[in-house]
Amino acid sequence: MALVTPVDIVPLDQLGRVHFVGIGGAGMSGIARVMLARGVAVSGSDSGSPGMLSELAALGAEVHAGHAAEHVGSAATVVVSSAIRPGNPELAEARRRGLRVLPRAAALASIMIGRRATAVAGTHGKTTTTSMITTILRECGADPGYVIGGVLAATGRGADDGAGRDLVVEADESDGSFLMLSPQVAVITNVEADHLDNYPGLAEIRAAFAAFARRVSPGGSLIICADDAGARAVAAASAGLPIRIRSYGTSPAAGFRVSGIIPRGMGTTFTMTAIVGGPGPDPTADFTSRTVPITIAVPGRHNVLNAAAAFAAAAELGIPGPQAAAALAAYRGAQRRMEPKGTADGVRVLDSYAHHPTEVAADLTAARDLADGGRVIAVFQPHLFSRTRLFAADFGAALGLADEAVVLDVYAAREDPEPGVTGRLVADAVPAGRPRYVPDAAQVPGVIAEIAKPGDLVLTMGAGDVTALGPVIVAVLRARGVHG
C-alpha cells in the first residue's frame, strides 16, 4: 500500500452513477449508504460481506458478489479503498475507459460538503470517539449523519445520513487520505507509530497529522488529547492557525480535565471539569466552574479519554455539559470494541478490534478490571505481515499483561506473505511460559476449553476474522459445562 495522492473534491451531484469496488467494507458501505439516501445511483462489488451486500441491495444499490470488469456498468465514478490492488479487474476497467476514479476519502469528502462536519482522527480510539460524538448529538435531538468504521450498537448501522446539519465521520490516517477532508471540528485522539508500510517513521506520521490540522476550516476547532505527546506536538505546530485549539485528558494542562476515574464492572465513572473559556458558539462563555459527573457503559481508561474527547467536541458544537454527560450515559458501544459475546460454564468471552500494541495493552488492562480476580486469556490474531514484523516484540510485551496468551497466524488483509513472518514471532515475544502459538484458528476453541476456568475472561483480539471465534468459543464452553 502507498500513500493516496489527494484529488479534487467533486460535489455529490456531479459524480453521476457511483460504483464502489469493495462496497462491503465498513467505510465504503457507510459512504454508499449515505449516497443512496441522497438519491445517488450506486452499484458495487465485494468478494465477501454477503450480509452487507444484501442490506445495500435492499436500499436500492446494484450489488455483485466477486469482481469482474462488467460490474462497472454505466458508472461515471469509481470509488476504491486502499485495500484494492491495482490489478483488480473493475479498477482496470475504469482506468481503461477513462472514468473518474476516487479514493474512499474523496467520496467521503463529497458527502461532507454542505454539512457541519466533525472528523475524528488518531492512531487509536477513532471508532469509539466517533460513535460517542454521534450518540451525544442523537440523544440531544440533532439527528446527525455519521460514517463510522464500525457498527453503532444503538442503531445497528455504521452510517446514516440523518436530517440534521451535523455529519460525524471517522478520518483514516493509514494511507494519508484524511488530508482530503476539511472538517469544522477535528479531533486527534493520539499520534503513534503505525502503518509503517506507508510512512517512513513517526516524524512523517506527526507531519501528516499536522497537515490534517491545517485542513480544519478557519474559525473551526482542533481538539487534541493533552495526555499524548504526539497530539501535543500537533497542537504546538498548529498554534498559528485561525482555529480554536482545545485539549482534554487527565493532564493538568488539559482544558477539559478528567479526574476521579472509577471502574464499575463493564462501565466507568469519572468527573469532567471544563476549565477553558468560550467553547461552542459563544466566545464569551465561562466554563471555569463547570464540573459534571459522567458514567459510561464501557470499560477502561482509554474509553474515558474517548468520552472526554466526545464531551469536548460536543462543547465546540454547542451542546451544554450536563446534556452531553447525560447523553454519554446512553452510549452502548460499537461492535468489536470490548463487545460481550456471551458467558458459558462460568467463563465470559469478549471481542476487541485491537490490532496495535497500545490498543492490545489498553484492552487487556481494562479486561483485568473486568475479570475481578479471575484470569485474563488473550486470543490474538496479528494483522498485516509488515505490522507483525515491526511490532512483534511490542505485541509480545502487551500480551504479557494476560495470564494466558493464544496467538494465531497473521491475517494478511491487503499484503502478500513475507518469508519468516508468522504469528510465532509474536508468540515467542510473550513472556516465557505463557504463549501458545495456534496457527489453525479452528483449533482455538478447543484450546480455550482446555485452559479456561470458571471466573476467567477470554478476550479475542485483532482486526481480522478472529472475531468469528467468539461465538464458537462460547458454544464449546457451553458444551463443556453440559458434558462436564
Residues annotated as part of the active site: 126-127, 170
Residues ≥6 apart with Cβ < 8 Å to 168: 117, 118, 119, 120, 130, 133, 134, 137, 144, 145, 146, 147, 148
Residues ≥6 apart with Cβ < 8 Å to 252: none
From start to end of 2-99, where are the E strands? 18-21, 42-46, 62-65, 77-80
How would you list the strands of the sheet with 347-352, edge to edge?
339-344, 347-352, 457-461, 376-380, 404-407, 435-437
Residues ≥6 apart with Cβ < 8 Å to 190: 122, 123, 124, 125, 225, 228, 230, 231, 358
Instruction: Give the C-alpha distances (Å, rounded to integers) separating 187 from 111, 137, 206, 223, 273.
Output: 19, 16, 14, 5, 18
What is the residue whose three cell numbers read 502487551?
Answer: 398
Task: Report, in this order, helix, strand and coil percent for the chain, each rounded to 5.
Answer: 35, 25, 40
Q: Phi and psi (nearest 5°) for 10?
A: -105, 130
Closest of 57, 67, 12 to residue 33, by C-alpha: 57
